[in-house]
Chains A and B, each alone.
Chain A
Amino acid sequence: MPQNEHIELHRKRHGQRLDHQERKRKKESREAHERSHKARKMIGLKAKLYHKQRHSEKIQMKKTLKMHEQRKTKQKNDDKTPEGAVPAYLLDREGQSRAKILSNMIKQKRKEKAGKWEVPLPKVRAQGETEVLKVIRTGKRQKKAWKRMVTKVCFVGDNFTRKPPKYERFIRPMGLRFKKAHVTHPELKATFCLPILGVKKNPSSPLYTTLGVITKGTVVEVNVSELGLVTQGGKVIWGVSVDEDKAGDHGHAD
């Protein structure tokens, strides 16, 4: 037999005292007085701890009471009409969030119409040549150093063909050529992977703009015809200029 069940066992075998319920009730009703007496008479560290515990209990009780009170009365929250008024025919339908609609439309065919957006050029640290371009040594004794290789992500157009290797000064490696960009809409917090149309301006140097190098702060044009956006003038938006957030493949759309 386990050690700690002797009280229960005794109760089961012999039952309880005849006035057990009465005594229990009276003892419980005395408890409040006893607690208060204890709280008044205690001193020292023990008292501090006890008071802290009692205080937190009191706060909890107050909170639950307030909650019950709130449930009974209808407060001003119900008077204020909620936002997002929709007509009757849209009421029972869960409004698809715009972001979801746009991401669904990505899969559709392209639409026509131009609409370019102007993006203010951000102030970024200009990247020096040593960062962006790496010197490539050529020649029988590896002495000639006139070739440069781009070390950042770049965009070349569709109709790009390399110059003959003997004459090409700037090498853009195939591994760093990107056609698509992940564009995040700042309001909708949705990201879309859209094809790049071209590099509009690289703030570091016009040379990088012509090369198509994409670094931090570069303005890049992307093709948003799949999103089916319409301007207030009624034109369908076809391209959008995007700020590069970091030299990688993420950017904000405007």
Chain B
Amino acid sequence: SAALIDMSMMSSDVERLLIQFQDEAGEPLGSPFDVPLDITPDKLQLVCNALLQKEPVPLAFFVRGEAEVVESLRVCVKALGVETEAVLPVVYQPQAVFRVRAVARCTSSLQGHTEAVISAAFSPTGKYLASGSGDTTVRFWDLTTETPQHTSRGHSHWVLTISWSPDGRKLASGCKNSQICIWDPVTGQQMGKTLTGHTKWITWISWEPLHLNPECRYLASSSKDGAVRVWDVVLGRCERILTGHTQSVTCVKWGGDGLLYTSSQDRTIKVWRAKDGVQCRTLQGHAHWVNTLALSTDYVLRTGAFEPADATINPQDQTGTFEELKEKALQRYNKVRGEAPERLVSGSDDFTLFLWNPAEDKKPLARLTGHSALINEVLFSPDTRLLASASFDKSIKIWDGRTGKYLQSLRGHVAAVYQVAWSADSRLMVSGSSDSTLKVWDIKTGKLHTDLPGHADEVFAVDWSPDGQRVVSGGKDKCLRIWRR
């Protein structure tokens, strides 16, 4: 603080301003501070970290919660036209302490599938990689050598969706013949029985979060037949069937508060209580099929007890007793969730998105319009501040995760954008498209960071590993590509 006093004394002839630091919830930090008008974000960071009296973290500052301070406070003040007499509230947002580096090159092209690759996912710690394909197999790949590890046969039709359990010890895969199989990534063998019960193909699988049940025993699956089933994978039977939708259920998400959210082609989204399967609420508003759902806590529920900041070069399995894991997962979940309940975003064929507060309200918080074609995927950033929507109109739009305000459009693809994936620090995003390229976007500048061509045909599945080291992409050309720095 001695350095700060020196600094303030030196620039005594520059205009000064009173600012009040506030956190994202609006709570003031310390008392109003007198700073010169041309202060830069670095100096603001020093001041704020000193006030926070914790370990210094990188921070981003937003004047009045709207304009970000990029070069100096003066630019923002001029842009907003704020009076310099009153106390100016400046919201500080802690950014991720670790920084994920952008991927730049394709380290390997994994061949092995004999049909198009339709789904690919990293395990929550980033140790294992699994991919499902149209040749009815699920393949596990060894990431250290980037070679095939196991080929798991058991399905009789295309493997449409795969999902890792939050502890990374099980993989659930659903196929077009309405069967679900659970696989062990270490041996590649099937665990337990094949779960049958649905009458049409499986559209999505979602596990129960780790902090609700560290055994990872229950999962929810949605299907084209309009029903959602909750399965017990240990006993291999269906616990509950949630019916209510009149058409295909396109997505199911198991929320961290014990609620299940389902979206359907009948234009509604239903909220259910996971414990007893009672329907709590129906959210209506869309004018066409609801294609995709995203929860603000999606990323933290996916990674469970694994903290991306603690990632090592060689990903390790999660160790610890059930209680320890549950405690860690609960801590992480509460930190990301904050005070407000989970937010839900739904993207639809009617070219709009809705932002909901499903635990409390039937009315949407905001309607996000702007796309000119149907929306294929929506994803919250891991720190829940931003929202990305990928659409068939070749653009990706970034919205504010809290209010739904439109922030920017990312253009560059020449065909429909199919999937997007955020990096663990929320600074970068990768998108895969029908034009066979992947593009890495820098969110802060809003510009294209790297173009990753290489696939011979459409890219169907994209994932960024939670430890930030690798990006995997699979597509119609039957090969899986791993991209690294």
Contacts and interface: CB of A to CB of B under 8 A. Distances in A.
B341 to A, nearest CB: 28
Given A89-B376, A91-B201, A230 B118 contact: no
Given A86-B116, A89-B292, A81 B454 contact: no
B158 interface: yes
B201 A81 contact: no
Contacts of A231: 453
A89 B119 contact: no
B453 A81 contact: no
Contacts of A83: 115, 134
Interface string B388-419: 00000000000000000000000000110010
A230 B115 contact: no
Contacts of A235: 453
B296 interface: no
B453 A234 contact: yes
A232 B414 contact: no
A117 B41 CA distance: 50
B203 A88 contact: yes
A87 B453 contact: no
Contacts, number: 75
B414 A85 contact: no
Contacts of B289: 92
A80 to B, nearest CB: 10
B460 interface: yes
Q: Which of B134, B203, B224 has its CB near the most chain A CB atoms (within 10 A)? A: B134
Contacts of A116: none
Contacts of B176: 91
A238 to B, nearest CB: 12
Given A228-B415, A230-B414, A232-B454, A85 B118 contact: yes
B160 A88 contact: yes
A127 B204 CA distance: 64
Contacts of B119: 87
A228 B414 contact: yes
Given A81-B156, A232-B436, A234-B437, A87 B460 contact: yes
A233 interface: yes
Contact of B160 (A87, A230, A236): A87
A89 B414 contact: no
A81 B118 contact: no
B381 interface: no
Q: Which label, helix, strand, loop or mixed, suits the secondary structure of the B interface?
A: loop
A35 interface: no
Interface residues of A, number: 20
B377 A89 contact: yes
Nearest to B157: A81
B165 interface: no
Nearest to A235: B453
Nearest to B174: A88
Given A85-B118, A89-B292, A232 B456 contact: yes
A230 B204 CA distance: 31
A92 B135 contact: no
A111 interface: yes
B116 A89 contact: no
Contacts of A88: 118, 160-161, 201-204, 250
A85 B134 contact: yes
Given A85-B134, A89-B292, A91-B201, A236 B115 contact: no
B44 interface: no
Given A89-B291, A91-B201, A81 B456 contact: no
Q: Which of A79, A88, A92, A111 has its CB near the most chain B CB atoms (within 10 A)? A: A88
A236 to B, nearest CB: 6
Contacts of B352: none
Nearest to B394: A228
A170 B430 CA distance: 57
Contacts of B451: 234
Given A81-B136, A81-B157, A232-B456, A86 B437 contact: no
A233 B453 contact: yes
Interface string B187-210: 000000000000001111000000
A180 B215 CA distance: 67
A85 B292 contact: no
A86 B224 CA distance: 15
A230 B158 contact: no
Given A89-B292, A91-B201, A230-B437, A81 B135 contact: yes
Q: Which of A87, A92, A231, A235 has its CB near the most chain B CB atoms (within 10 A)? A: A87
A87 B454 contact: no
Contacts of A85: 115-116, 118, 133-135, 158
Nearest to B289: A92
B201 A230 contact: no
A181 B202 CA distance: 48
B423 interface: no
Contacts of A79: 156
Interface of B: 115-116, 118-119, 133-136, 156-158, 160-161, 176, 201-204, 224, 248, 250, 265, 289, 291-292, 376-377, 414-415, 418, 435-437, 451-456, 460-461
Given A79-B156, A86-B116, 16 more contacts: A81-B157, A81-B158, A85-B158, A86-B118, A86-B134, A87-B460, A88-B203, A89-B250, A89-B291, A92-B265, A230-B435, A231-B453, A232-B453, A232-B456, A233-B453, A234-B452
Q: Which 3 A-B pairs have the closest CB atoms?
A: A85-B134, A234-B453, A87-B118
